[in-house]
Amino acid sequence: MRSSMIVIALAATIGAAPLVAAPTSPAVSHAVEDATRPKADRDADALRMPAETLAFAGVKPGMTIGEFYPGSGYFTRMISDVVGPKGHVYAMENVKWKSPDTDKLSTGLNNVSVDAEPFGTVRFPAPLDLAWVTQNYHDLKIAKYGPVDIAAFNRAVFAALKPGGVFFVLDHEAPAGTDDAGIAKLHRIERAQVIREVTAAGFKLQSEGSFLRRPADDHTLPIFDKAIQGKTDQYALRFVKPR
């Protein structure tokens, strides 16, 4: 795979911002190209754009990363590969979602530890360089997965990060004015709502990635609807904890 370029919208506010390009590092390219990754993961790459995602988030060798809700480990394996033996991935799973696939991550990857706790728990044994949540921030608003105080969650993520650390959020765009009932139905959340909630905890919006923006998605269908599944309009937000 050739080194790809990411279009990033630098933003300090919710409004529009200048665009710049950032290259994918050799470490990220190596992780994505790893032939030992499960075939199902590699087949999903064309839609999920992992190289762009990892590079935009800023995953680098030696980092300590907290990954929320790793599931079967699509991103966990690649993050583990990028951070390498001098880094570590602390994966925090919802105890209700824990599965044998989740357990395999900590046994098969030497630099990955997996903990399953009540939904919304933020507890890591070391300060983080990067906190990561992809396609699951909206789930924190869905009561059946476990009650979560979203303001307390974001404050806890802020406290878990080192000064200058990054909180990376990627999710599915929702129609304007979508409430919690709509989030539960669509499994989408407005970009503007995420920005309001995360910055209220003290974070600054540093940059925005447009690599998963898909104008053909009008945001009205649930993300699991076969007409749109895998092809939703998604935003990538990089928040930073001030030094």
Q: How does pLDDT run across 92-141, given as a tens digit for each residue?
A: 999 999 888 888 888 889 999 999 999 999 999 999 999 999 999 999 99
CA distance 97 to 72: 10
List, for residues 186-206, the tens digit of each pLDDT value: 999 999 999 999 999 999 999
**What are the beta bridge partners of residue 115?**
92
Higher-scoring residue by pLDDT: 68, 1 = 68
Q: Which two tokens stand for residue 231?
A: 């092809």
Determine which of 103-112, 205-214, 233-242 has the lowest per-residue pLDDT on average.
103-112
The dihedrals phi and psi of 160, each to the nearest 5 degrees, come to -75, -20
Residue 144, exposed/middle/buried by CB under 10 A (0-12, 13-18, 19+)?
A: exposed
**What does pTM read for this prediction?**
0.91
**Amino acid identity, residue 206?**
Q
Phi-psi region for residue 218, left (φ > 0), alpha (ψ -120 to 50) or beta?
Answer: alpha
Q: Summarize pLDDT for 154-198 with one digit per residue, the tens.
A: 999 999 999 999 999 999 999 999 999 999 999 999 999 999 999
